[in-house]
Amino acid sequence: MTKMVKAYRYELMHDEGADYIAYRRQAGDGVWQTVSVWMIPADAQGRL
C-alpha cells in the first residue's frame, strides 16, 4: 500500500556531544516519520 506524503519538516535536535538534523515527513494518517538524520559533531573542545 502506498501512502501520500502531505508535508515534511526539518528539526534541529540537541544532545551533549552533538546536534542533529532530522528530516521527517507526515504520512496520510497524520503520523510523523523520521526519514533521515544527520549529525553535527562537536569539536575537540566540545563546542558545537
Residue 15's pLDDT is what? 80
Note whether residue 30 is domain-resident: yes
- Residue 25 neighbours by CB under 8 Å, 6+ apart: 5, 7, 8, 9, 32, 33, 35
Structural domain that includes position 13? 7-41
Note whether residue 46 is domain-resident: no
Sign of CA pseudo-dihedral 34, 38, 40, 41: positive
Number of domains in the chain: 1
Give bridge partners of residue 9 from the DSSP assignment.
Answer: 24
Residue 48's pLDDT is what? 56
At residue 8, the 3 state secondary structure works out as strand
pLDDT, one tens digit per residue, over 1-32 is 666 656 999 999 888 778 999 999 988 788 88
Note whether residue 48 is domain-resident: no
